[in-house]
Amino acid sequence: MSRSSAWETVSIARRQDRPNAYYYINEIFDDFIELRGDRSFADDRAIIGGIARLDGIPVTVIGQNKGMDTKENIANNFAMPNPEGYRKALRLMKQAEKFKRPVICLIDTPGAYCGLGAEERGQGQAIARNLLEMSRLKTPIISGVIGEGGSGGALALGVADRIFMQENTIYSILSPEGFASILWKDSSMAPQAAEVMKITAKDLYNFNIIDRIIKEPIGGASENPKEAARLLEVYLKEEIIGLIQSPISEILKNRYNKFRKLGEFM
Amino acid sequence: MLNGIFRKPRYAQIKGRKDENVDNKPKIPAGMWIKCKACKGSIYHQDIKKNHGICPTCNYHFPLAARSRIHQILDRGSWKELDKDMESVNPLGFDSYNRKLEKAKDISKQNEAVLTGVGKINKIKLVIGVMDSRFMMGSMGSVVGEKISRAIEYATEHRLPLILFTASGGARMQEGIFSLMQMAKTSAALARHDDNGLLYITVLTNPTTGGVTASFAMLGDIIIAEPGALVGFAGPRVIEQTIKQKLPRGFQQSEFLQEHGMIDMIVERRELRDKLSSLLLLHQPKEGDIDV
């Protein structure tokens, strides 16, 4: 089977030792205080969030958090959130709006969890609500992919004013495996799927869906996590300064138009 | 010679059909007699047609063509279609997508998986969008997202209530990330409709799953479902593969959703128009606004 460059990116994005949201939060932000729970059902460990400082500015930071080892991954459900995870994220975003803190979301999920409980508690509703509320949240939002950006489960943290992807990450409608099995009835054709699906940072940048590709150390973020964090930190600090100086009405109008123009048709 | 004389003969075994809800491919009645997917009875197609597309024996709601739905719901002659000619392109250059689109247009006699327009229910003006599962499983690509967003914006601009009928297998895979972004686009348009204090009702029909469930389907001020409709985020097969066990009976059906607090009510097709009319009437700001 021929290896595609897109498939190599998939492999780097999924590395077990790739720095996770928790790592970046601690490396980039100061005084992180975690806030837990959705206030109605549970505290979903697939998503973490809280208050911290970025360059001295109080912000709300939220991230889908894979585990750095198997034990942690099981505890975090491999960063596949249940509805309570999305509801916690929304609670923290509304809180950020109230206290006029910018929001930063770090996306890293194979997708929203497909389980019995997730359906019973309204996975679709939880994601939909986040999309709607993020589109009108009266505070700046920066979102970006730090690993896998899988489907609606990723987008539910991705309606933002600035959207980035690290160099070796993917953002897609579903996993290449899922795509291959649905359209070609053969999940082993995932490498080919990765290619045709156009899921790399470069692809999305060319489609005007993301604003910036963040460089990674050679070989990917896992090879030098500290350096990867530094590169991301430079970007976040630069963007947040610009955003907090813009009037919120301007920001909201631009956020709406940013998504409104997406789509190809005749 | 006597070999096998006392042996039990082997017969070919015919396995029973699996649960009718797992196979949710909509089949459009074509012949004179139609087999009901739920009760397996044979029904004369005119009887189904006269009965709003409902099985007279077991009340199974057959998937409805978008135009039939519009005919059933709106006041006669009030329908004005918007963006009728909008068509899909192939943004990823995906092999076989063009062919699939042509086939879907052929089968459905329409350009895409949703029809949007303006109409009236008992003289109350509204914007309506109806998805059609015969068009590539009612999947949402750029055109579905754009037509729905424009319909929402039209409703916001003209201060009209909005009703969307959903029927979708989810995202249009062939349009990749563009398809995903339609979820955000439609939801953002709904936020503005909502900010203007306008009424939005969704009617979930069989099946409503994936990206449509996780965007405009579940955002109604009032959410109605037809009886027995499959409604969920993940499809039943995906969940079974994830949890490696059979799903309980009735899982992800309208009745299940109602029990779990996800929808406001289940309304039979033949009562839908009246129910929608009552809801619209209750949300009319003042008498003078009713367009007579």
pLDDT, tens digit, 9 for 90 and up, residues A27-79: 999 999 999 999 999 999 999 999 999 999 999 999 999 999 999 999 999 99
CATH second-level architecture of B64-289?
Alpha-Beta Complex (3.90)
For an interface test with A, give the residue of B105, B149, B187 to mutate (most A CBs within 10 A): B187
Higher pLDDT, B5 or B283: B283
Domain presence at residue A261: no
**What is the pLDDT, as a whole number, of residue B15?**
54
In a domain, A257, yes or no: no
CB A158 within 8 A of CB A205: no
Q: Which of residues 13-42 of A touch B (CB under 8 A)?
A: none
- pLDDT of res. B287: 59
Tens-place pLDDT, residues A109-134: 999 999 999 999 999 999 999 999 99
Closest CB to B185 among A120, A260, A265: A260
Q: Do A265 and B251 touch (CB under 8 A)?
A: no
How many domains is chain A built from?
1
Chain B residues closer than 8 Å to A266 by CB = 86-89
CB pairs under 8 A between A and B: 175
Read off the pLDDT of residues B244-286 as tens digits, 9 standing for 90 and up: 889 999 999 999 999 999 999 999 999 999 999 999 999 997 7
Q: What is the CATH number of the domain that holds A116?
A: 3.90.226.10
Instruction: Mutate one of A259, A261, A266 to test the B interface: name it (highest B CB count within 10 A).
Output: A259
Long-range contacts of A177-180 (CB under 8 A, 24+ apart): A179/B173
- Tell me whether residues A128 and B247 touch, CB distance under 8 A: no
The radius of gyration computed from the CA coordinates of chain A, to the nearest angstrom, equals 17
Q: Residue A131 is nearest to which of B87, B187, B233, comparing CB atoms?
A: B187
The answer to whether ipTM exceeds 0.95 is: yes
Residues of A in contact with B145 (CB under 8 A): 263
Domain that holds residue A233: 5-251
- Parse chain B into domains and list their residue ranges: 64-289
Contact A122 B192 (CB under 8 A): no
Contacts of A265 in chain B (CB under 8 A): 86-89, 142-143, 146
Asked if residue A258 belongs to a domain, the reply is no
Each residue of B232-246: pLDDT tens digit? 999 888 898 888 889
Contacts of B154 (CB under 8 A, 6+ apart): B82, B118, B127, B160
pLDDT per residue rounded down to tens, chain A (266 residues): 444 599 999 999 999 999 999 999 999 999 999 999 999 999 999 999 999 999 999 999 999 999 999 999 999 999 999 999 999 999 999 999 999 999 999 999 999 999 999 999 999 999 999 999 999 999 999 999 999 999 999 999 999 999 999 999 999 999 999 999 888 989 899 999 999 999 999 999 999 999 999 999 999 999 999 999 999 999 999 999 999 999 999 999 999 999 999 999 99
In this predicted structure, what is the pLDDT of residue B18?
A: 47
Closest residue to A115, CB basis, from B94, B239, B261: B239
Give residues 142 to 171 of A whose Cβ lies within 8 Å of B: 151-152, 155-156, 158-159, 171
DSSP sequence for chain A: -PPPHHHHHHHHHT-TTS--HHHHHHHH-EEEEE----SSS---TTEEEEEEEETTEEEEEEEE---SSHHHHHHTGGG---HHHHHHHHHHHHHHHHTT--EEEEEEES-S--SHHHHHTTHHHHHHHHHHHHHT-SS-EEEEEEEEEEHHHHHTT---SEEEEETT-EEESS-HHHHHHHHSS-GGGHHHHHHHHT-BHHHHHHTTS-SEEEP--TT-GGG-HHHHHHHHHHHHHHHHHHHHHS-HHHHHHHHHHHHHT---B-
Nearest CA in chain B to A124: B214
- The string of pLDDT tens digits covering residues B184-242 is 999 999 999 999 999 999 999 999 999 999 999 999 999 999 999 999 999 888 898 88
